[in-house]
Amino acid sequence: MTLSSLERRICYHYRYVAPETILSAEPIDDQDASSLRADASEDGACYLEVTRSFHDGTYQARVASHPGLIRTQGYTIVLNAAQLALARPYDCRVSDKSA
């Protein structure tokens, strides 16, 4: 089994930043007008940690609106390779809003 370049560069349980457009903007349901994009992104970005590969071009990840919320208040999602390719490693020295 050969690994794709994306699979070779993924560091599992490492924080990444991605554009909010990788998240669905569709309402949750008829009673709840919120969306994953509204709940798990801020200022056009979302933060994620890839937790596993399904080895079919899809990946399980946790996503949240702030890197510190990924594990405690994040959402578990499935991303395809094209969505994950838009993610970049998160550098808290440059991006930390609490500084």
Is the Cα torsion angle 58, 10, 16, 45 positive or negative in sign? negative
pLDDT band at 81 (very low <50, low <70, confident <90, very high): very high
pLDDT tens, position by position, 23-41? 999 997 888 888 999 999 9
User: Please, which residues have CB within 8 angstroms of residue 86's CB and are 6 or more apart in sequence?
Assistant: 18, 19, 21, 22
Q: What is the mean pLDDT of residues 42-63?
A: 96
What rounded mean pLDDT belongs to the chain? Answer: 88
Topology of the domain comprising 5-89: SH3 type barrels. (2.30.30)
| pLDDT at site 98 | 45
